[in-house]
Amino acid sequence: MTRPGGRRGIATGASFHPYEALATTSLVYRRAITAIGVSGKYDRQQVGAEVRDAWAGDVGVAIAVFDIMAFGVGLVGRLGYATRPAITEASRMTFGGGVVLGRLAMDCAFQSYGVLDGGTHRVGLRWTP
């Protein structure tokens, strides 16, 4: 039996306008080789008459394990812990590191993920004007 519409749905002639807004802010305090930071995020999604809001926040500590200030080069190590609902297989612990070359920074993080029989790697590149 074939279902009407399948993955494309059924044409009704009606239209809707999806909308998404994301706002984020962060604050970092650095003293010597230690940096403490907090961030907050807000996301609002709307599809048709359905509206959903989400809030999230992060707190972190970074320690520069190698910092050559004269050359503007630094290595940073990170360790994180997050609370998650029991429905996900993602590990609560994450770890990673980064390299800072003046205004350019590259970050890498690893998080174990049971369903993937391994984990996920996240890599970011950042330029600070």
pLDDT tens for each residue of 58-92:
777 777 666 555 566 777 777 777 666 656 677 77
In this prediction the pTM is: 0.47
Share of the chain above pLDDT 90, in %: 0
CA distance 94 to 82: 8
**What's residue 102's pLDDT?**
79
Is 41 within 8 Å of 55 (Cβ atoms)? Answer: yes
- Would strands 73-81 and 90-101 be described as parallel, antiparallel, or unpaired? antiparallel
**What's residue 63's pLDDT?**
72
Is 81 within 8 Å of 58 (Cβ atoms)? Answer: no
Mean of all residue pLDDT scores within the chain: 77
Is 44 within 8 Å of 53 (Cβ atoms)? Answer: yes
Residue 94: alpha-carbon gap to chain centroid: 12
Strand blocks (E) in the chain: 19-31, 34-47, 50-68, 73-81, 90-101, 104-113, 118-127
Q: Is the pLDDT of residue 2 over 70?
A: no
**What's residue 3's pLDDT?**
52
